Structure 1
């Protein structure tokens, strides 16, 4: 596996949470753990296969913890790790900026 090389802190942050869906998944998990179906409903527009892919990547990078409960029917919950919570905290000001400028951003062609 090739070692990641980042040029600055922003590069490192974008590398670990890049893409459209990871930020939305992080935001959805900020209050409590969610089961897969709950998470899919909380992230509108994401397909099941994309959610699975993103969760696997986030688990591999240490942002998300996957807890499997051995019961019938099977139960799996996803939650943020301490690393994931710290990234979510860092992204909150960006989300506030987006809320503040959403109307203007939506008019950009």
Structure 2
């Protein structure tokens, strides 16, 4: 099912990827991309991680030194870093995180 991607997030991701390419990154090969999320408590973080794993992501849950939303979950997937791929997954995971009292906190990958 196709859904309308908000231009602001899509454009933001497009700019990031264009800048990476301009700096010499080869965006063609598939690679592991990390999507970061923050949560207020362990139970919420664990529930999100379980659902993300059911959707094919590997996950890492960790507590960090931060007053607000001290639980981080990184959801990782091997994929080609296109603006469409990243934006679609970022939106899907953010909706899932919000259903568990969390929110998206960006994405990244090792440059090749």
TM-score using structure 1 length: 0.29
Higher helix share: 1
Larger Rg: 1
More strand by share: 2
Q: TM-score, normalization: structure 2?
A: 0.29
